[in-house]
Amino acid sequence: MTIPVLSIVLFLPLAGALLVSLVPKDYVKLMRLVALASSIVAFGASLWMLFLFNSADGGFQLVEKVEWISRYRASYHLGVDGISLWLVLLTTFLVPLCIAASWRVDKKVKALNVILLLMETSILGVFLSLDLLLFYIFWEGMLIPMYFLIGVWGYERRVYAALKFFLYTLFGSLLMLVGVAALYFLGGRTFDLAELSRSGLGPSAQLWLFGAFFASFAIKVPIFPFHTWLPDAHTEAPTAGSVLLAGVLLKMGGYGFLRLSIPLFPDATVKFAPWLAILGVIGIVYGGIVSIVQSDVKRLVAYSSVSHLGFVVLGIAALNTAATTGSVLQMVSHGLSTGLLFLLIGMLYQRAHTRKIADLSGVGGVMPVFGGMFLIAVLSSLGLPGLNGFVGEFLILNGTFPVMRALTIIATLGVVLAAIYLLWMYERVFTGPVKIPHAERKSVWRDVSPGELAVIVPVIAMMLWIGLYPKPFLDRIEPSVERVLSNLNRPVASR
Amino acid sequence: MLLLIPAIPLAGAVFLLIFRAKVGRFAGAIASSAIGGSFFVSLIAWSELLNRPAESRAVGGRVFEWIAAGSFHADFTLRVDPLTAVMLLVVTGVGTLIHIYSIGYMASDERRGTFFGYLNLFAASMLVLVLAGNFLVLFLGWELVGLCSFLLISFWSHRPSAAAAGKKAFIVNRIGDFGFLIALFLIQKTFGTLDMVEVFARAGESPLTGSLATAIPLLLLLGCAGKSAQIPLYIWLPDAMEGPTPVSALIHAATMVTAGVYLVARAHVLFEQSLIAGGVVVGIGIATALLAAAIAISQDDIKRVLAYSTVSQLGYMFVAVGTGALSRSALPYVAGIFHLVTHAFFKALLFLGAGSVMHAVGDETDMKKMGGLRKALPVTSLTFIIGWLAISGVPPLSGFFSKESILAAAWEHGLPWIWVLGVIVAGMTAFYMSRQVFLTFFGESRVAADVHPHESPPVMTRVLQSLALLAAVGGLLNLTLHHGTLSKWLEPVFTSGVHIEATEAATPLGLPEVVVSAFIALVSLAAIALAYRLYLAPGAEKARTRLKGSLGYFVRLSQKKFFVDELYNSLFVWPGKVVARIAAFGIDAKIIDGAVNGAAKAVGAAALRMRMTQSGLVRRYAMAMLTGAALIVALFVVRVR
């Protein structure tokens, strides 16, 4: 019997959540430790998955299929390919950091850690499911823990932000539900993705269904103009929430396009691709411009995600291997760079109790190491060669250029905008005269602690790895992207 | 082995940045040994080239596969040819001297460890830039030197002006790199690779036509204009003087800012594809040379004069390499690289001399508060004077030979007006440099009473003496453009691709070369005499007032730097901020989010009117939604089928 690695990865966090909930309520530290330990074990399990993964094979690997609701031909069907592989690893990599970053949160510790682990399982479920119904359940399931995470542990306007996030995404999900149901009936009464993609939907069915799924994915990415939930949710969420939102949740949108839209609705995808590209480019430029004048550090980084995810959308819309491979890598890169920025902003807030740029000055003078780490995150985010962000952005732009020249040139402006909004923010917060009173410098404004370094350094190491030697990543992404895109070239009859 | 050249300073940088607090006063020694090690390895690489026949002087290759996906493939490739060898020796040689000087200059700074770490990181990045055998690797070095420039300009970042200058440098360079990136996309699309050897070979075999031939070099040029501070992107370099002075010498005079000149020379095959491209390079070069010289004339800050002088001299180099592209011949490029080398010697010397002066007068940079420093600073003043004579083009110092080569090349290849303007720039250069020397070292002392000028420690003055020696005898590298050592060494690099050699040496009015050279030297001497009359001779002040009466308008424009910064602010920065505010607080907050919230409110209001707000109705809501969804599905399935 083969060991069900993917199920182990998927349900380890859930098991951790159960364990945490069993801890008696006075042992607060134990709850954190159990949560951290189980998320680290889950990360270990995902490394095992990586070890077993065959990089030459672009198809689904480590597949598990068990009948589930046979009446509706829905099955418990898991598998991993080069696209989901890195998103799974990104998730299991970030969750322990999130739990560690929430170490000092004293409000409802047990619930917090349970929710983080539940969220991990549902996110992993989205990336690992090969069955549409299963996919939808995990997709929706993720909504509830995130709603509570923002609404309970967030900042001042958390209730507004949580509700907005919930309603916005729910709206998208309902349309997707319509799509799922319609797909079930039109695609030969099955929920199996492979079978669905072979069912050969007619062109008009494809267009309608593409639209239904598009709404949900577009909100999640987010694609302009469906993005206004994002700045509120990211800004008001606690650090762990922001990291997971920006790091992983936004990727579910791009992942949805790759996993569902392209294989199931290839004709519609080709038809919509130019529009998708235009929306992506609008997101890049618009998100960049809006970021410049934000007065809140966290909100600025949140808006920068609109810009960065625009690159992902553009790369997917190019529908060629190089650009789309770049998009997948960019999803991972953005998770690392924006994830780290949110982690660092969380640490900054613990000391400053403000996120207003105008209230901060000369932070780098008091905390030079922290300032240096923040600068690395900024440089990664603005796409400096040698760090992770550049590789994906370059592959996307270079791959898009031959197909859509004018759009690519406009999109490249995003690179200039990123330098403007990020460095201007860095200048105002970290340089200039130190305003912090001497008395507080040794106590409140201590430079990074070893515990904080333990959170930061792994992320920076990954940034350097991807920036300098992305081969192991690209080698595994590329065959799967090629396989997904091959759906577009199949003659209609065989679909 | 080539990897060692950047790897040694990179290792130094990593070590210094991690142990910056522990290395203490050894930081400078560690950093200097690291770059000294690179210099040594560069010498070995150079000798390896020397042992080969002239046509096959190139070594190196792939180190590892860097980025590959789909049809795109870029290797991390390092290569040395004669051009790279020259750059390597300048970067590591002059670099080592400046590292050593910094030991003295930064002795009392408590963040020495960090400083030397950044300096080593810069050296490593610059070496990657010149060693790159692939455009993408070059771009990596290109961006990393920009990063180090940013870090070092804003090294004393508690000063808002330093932080702002660093940011400005980075952003302006990014604007240039926007062009660079698009050029890379075009190169990849046109040639199917970013490997330089292949790209140049293909471009040489089948020349490009139409707008593509012009677009690629012009987009590359935008990047060069950013890095090498040319019009329209030169505005960051004068502000970059906020950084410690050795940084200005190393990055903003001798090495990094010459990267643009290097790139034009390196990619000469691409620049030769279109006459427009070559013409634009020459035009931008001469315009920048003139504008910057016109500003340098009236500046009072000792480092700003040198900064504008650097911009101006870089313009000179662009004229040279542009002439090469325009005429598709090798020697103008050689002249440009020759000037790059001598400029590295004398401008590094001048900057370090200025640093020594600032060291002596308590970090004062206003030349109005100097004067008569010759006696207190014997070594600094003597070496500075050598640098001054070298940059002014006084024979037999190095600057005379390299400037003369550029002018000769311009004339030979049919650009007489460029020759005339170049001679004018040479005169202006001699004038403002003389003004600087007279104001600083000669005349009455205007130093504040509580400042007691003192000569710098030997670790600094020895470096000044070494650079002074190089600035004095650097002309030996290429005594004549047609038969010099450097010309012979570099010519094979530039003879690939489309190539036409000038048939014979031509000079203005057919005069003998010696006469023309003597004329150029005389222009410089006349400019020096004029500066003497206005700043040092008895009655200088009266002469100045008289001159200001007639040229007052120009002087004020020059002092205000022709309001270019103000122009850019009102054209780009200010409108940009307005647009961003409208986008963020108008479009995003009011219109898009307003529509979302409005829709939510409308639903809420409608619900209120329908009296559905009582508790318990959430379930009815959900039911209604589900029923609606089911209806849509049913419709869908029926219709679409």
pLDDT averaged over chain A? 92
Dihedral of CA atoms B346, B349, B351, B353 in degrees, nearest 10, equals: -140
Which of B147, B158, B625 comes nearest A174 by C-beta? B625
How far is A374 from A430, CA to CA, in rounded Å? 9
Q: Are residues A227 and A309 in contact, defined by beta-carbon separation less than 8 angstroms?
A: no
How far is A66 from A76, CA to CA, in rounded Å? 5
Report pLDDT digits (tens) over A156-187: 889 889 888 888 888 888 889 999 999 998 88
What pLDDT is attached to residue A492? 45
Answer yes or no: do A416 and B174 touch at CB < 8 A: yes
ipTM of the complex model: 0.94
How far is B554 from B294, CA to CA, in rounded Å? 9
Answer yes or no: do B67 and A474 touch at CB < 8 A: yes
Asked if A275 is an interface residue toward chain B (Cβ–Cβ < 8 A), one would say no
Asked if A174 is an interface residue toward chain B (Cβ–Cβ < 8 A), one would say yes
Which of A229, A293, A384 comes nearest B584 by C-beta? A293
Asked if A287 is an interface residue toward chain B (Cβ–Cβ < 8 A), one would say no
How far is B256 from B130, CA to CA, in rounded Å? 10
Catalogue the E-assigned strands of A199-345: none
- B72-80 vs A61-69, strand pairing mode: unpaired
What pLDDT is attached to residue B482? 85
Q: What is the mean pLDDT of each run of 10 residues along chain B (641 residues)?
A: 94 95 90 97 95 88 92 94 96 97 93 95 97 97 96 93 94 95 96 94 87 94 96 94 94 95 96 94 97 94 96 97 93 96 97 94 91 92 96 94 93 92 96 96 89 92 96 92 90 70 66 88 95 90 85 87 90 90 88 82 68 49 63 62 48
Interface-testing mutation among B67, B128, B180, with chain A (most A C-beta atoms within 10 A): B67
Asked if B144 is an interface residue toward chain A (Cβ–Cβ < 8 A), one would say yes
Residue A460 has pLDDT above 90, yes or no: yes
Answer yes or no: do A401 and B186 touch at CB < 8 A: yes
Amino acid at A372: G
Asked if A228 is an interface residue toward chain B (Cβ–Cβ < 8 A), one would say yes
| Count of alpha carbons within 13 angstroms of residue B2, beta-carbon side | 26
Asked if A207 is an interface residue toward chain B (Cβ–Cβ < 8 A), one would say no
Answer yes or no: do A362 and B71 touch at CB < 8 A: no
Answer yes or no: do B177 and A478 touch at CB < 8 A: no
Point out which residues pair with A74 in neighbouring strands: A69
Answer yes or no: do B600 and A167 touch at CB < 8 A: yes
Residue given tokens 């004709």 in the structure block = A267
pTM higher than 0.90: yes
Query: Which B-chain residues 540-579 have CB contacts (< 8 A) with chain A?
Result: 576-577, 579
How far is B99 from B32, CA to CA, in rounded Å? 5
Answer yes or no: do B171 and A416 touch at CB < 8 A: yes
Answer yes or no: do A174 and B188 touch at CB < 8 A: no
All residues of chain B having their beta carbon less than 8 Å from the beta carbon of residue A284 are none
Question: In terms of CA atoms, which chain A residue is nearest residue B174?
Answer: A416
What pLDDT is attached to residue A341? 97
All residues of chain A having their beta carbon less than 8 Å from the beta carbon of residue B144 are 384-386
User: If you write DSSP's letter for every residue of A79-148 in order, what string do you get?
Assistant: EE-HHHHHHHHHHHHHHHHHHHHTTT--SSHHHHHHHHHHHHHHHHHHHHB-BHHHHHHHHHHTHHHHHH
What the block records as the tokens of A225 is: 């103009």
Q: In terms of Cα–Cα distance, which of B212, B394, B428 is closest to B315?
A: B428
Q: Are residues B321 and B281 in contact, defined by beta-carbon separation less than 8 angstroms?
A: yes
Residue A495 has pLDDT above 50, yes or no: no
Answer yes or no: do B67 and A391 touch at CB < 8 A: yes
How far is A258 from A266, CA to CA, in rounded Å? 11
What pLDDT is attached to residue A306? 94
Answer yes or no: do A434 and B182 touch at CB < 8 A: no
Query: Which B-chain residues 594-633 have CB contacts (< 8 A) with chain A?
Result: 596, 600, 625, 629-630, 632-633
Identify which has the larger pLDDT, A449 or B500: A449
Whole-angstrom Cα Rg for chain A: 22
Interface-testing mutation among B173, B218, B633, B638, with chain A (most A C-beta atoms within 10 A): B633
Report pLDDT digits (tens) over B336-362: 999 999 999 999 999 999 999 999 998
What pLDDT is attached to residue B608? 63
Interface-testing mutation among A169, A178, A210, with chain B (most B C-beta atoms within 10 A): A178
What is the rounded average pLDDT of the residues A309-315? 96
Asked if B154 is an interface residue toward chain A (Cβ–Cβ < 8 A), one would say yes
What pLDDT is attached to residue B633? 66
H or E stretch at B66:
strand B59-69
Question: In terms of CA atoms, which chain B residue is nearest residue A170?
Answer: B625
How far is A178 from A207, CA to CA, in rounded Å? 14
Answer yes or no: do A478 and B70 touch at CB < 8 A: yes
What is the rounded average pLDDT of the residues A370-377? 96
What is the rounded average pLDDT of the residues A224-246? 92
